[in-house]
Structure 1
Amino acid sequence: MEHPRTCGITLHDGSNCSSIVPADAELNLCDQHLLAAADIAAREVGVTDLLPSPCLACGSRLGVHYPSGWLCAVCEWRHGEFPDGELAPPRLDVVYYIRFGGLIKIGTSANPRRRIASLPHDEVLAFERGDRRLEQRRHAQFASQQVNGGEWFHAHEALLRHIEVVRGGIDPWDAHARWLSSLLALRG
Structure 2
Amino acid sequence: MCDAHAAIVLEWADGEIGRTDLLPTPCSLCGSRLGVRHPAGWSCAVCEWRAGDVLDGELPPPRVDVVYYIRFEDRIKIGTTANPRQRLARLWHHDVLAFEQGDRIVERRRHEQFAADRLGRSEWFSPSRELGEHVAALAAGVDDPWLRHARWVSEAIARRG
**TM-score, normalised by the number of residues in structure 1:** 0.63
Determine the C-alpha separation between the residues in 1 that align with 2:147 and 2:16. Answer: 25
Task: Decide whether the 8 Å contact of 2:27 with 2:44 is kept in 1.
Answer: yes
- Give the match's secondary structure for 1:97: strand
The alpha-carbon deviation at position 79 of structure 1 amounts to: 1.3
Q: How many residues align?
A: 158
The answer for the alignment partner of 1:187 in structure 2 is 160
2:77 to 105, 109, 114: 105
In the other structure, the counterpart of 2:149 is 176
2:114 match: 142
Secondary structure of the residue aligned to 1:127 is strand
Aligned: 1:160 with 2:132: yes
Distance 1:113 1:55 in 2: 21
Aligned AA (1:124): L
1:67 pairs with 2:30 = no
Unmatched 5+ stretches in structure 1: 1-7, 10-28
Letter in 1 for 2:149: H
Distance 2:23 2:85 in 1: 23
Which residue is equivalent to 2:50?
A: 78
39 and 152 in structure 1: CA distance in 2 versus 1, 3 angstrom threshold: same
Which residue pairs with 1:130 in the alignment? 103
- Percent sequence identity is 50
Looking at structure 1, the residues matched to 73 and 7 of structure 2 have their Cα atoms a distance apart, in angstroms, of 52
**Separation in 2, partners of 1:114, 1:107:** 13
Judging by fraction of residues, say which structure has more helix.
Answer: 2
SS of the equivalent of 2:14 reads helix
Q: CA RMSD in A?
A: 3.4
TM-superposed CA distance for 1:90, in Å, is 1.4
Structure of higher CA gyration radius: 1
